[in-house]
Structures are given as structure tokens and as C-alpha cells.
Amino acid sequence: METKMWILMVEAGVALFLLVFIVWWTMFAGRKDVDRKDVDRRVDERDDTRP
């Protein structure tokens, strides 16, 4: 039983690594700052047209 425990630990480590990697990828692999400024400008223009 003790010899099979390392398999579970390796699997848990890989799952944790994948979770952290996916979160990191989605946070920092998005649009660049230039694209965000363009979107903010478009949102501001729409807000000006409201009554």
C-alpha cells in the first residue's frame, strides 16, 4: 500500500501544476494594453450617447 502512495502524490502534483498553469495562462496571455485602451475608448464613446 505504501508503494502506491507516491503515484497519488505525483498525480496530485501534476493536477496542481496544471491548475496553476491554466490560471496563469489566462491571466497574463490576454490582450495587450494598447487593445484595452481602444476598448475603453469605445466604451466611453457609447456612454456619451446615453440620454
Residue 48 pLDDT more than 70? no
C-alpha dihedral sign at 6, 12, 15, 17: negative
pLDDT for 19: 97
Tens digit of pLDDT for each residue in 23-39? 999 998 776 665 566 66
- Which residues 6+ apart lie within 8 Å of 51 measured at CB? none
pLDDT for 26: 92
Tens digit of pLDDT for each residue in 1-20? 567 899 999 999 999 999 99
- Which residues 6+ apart lie within 8 Å of 39 measured at CB? 31
CB atoms within 10 A of CB 33: 7
Alpha-carbon distance 13 to 26, whole Å? 20
C-alpha dihedral sign at 38, 39, 41, 42: positive
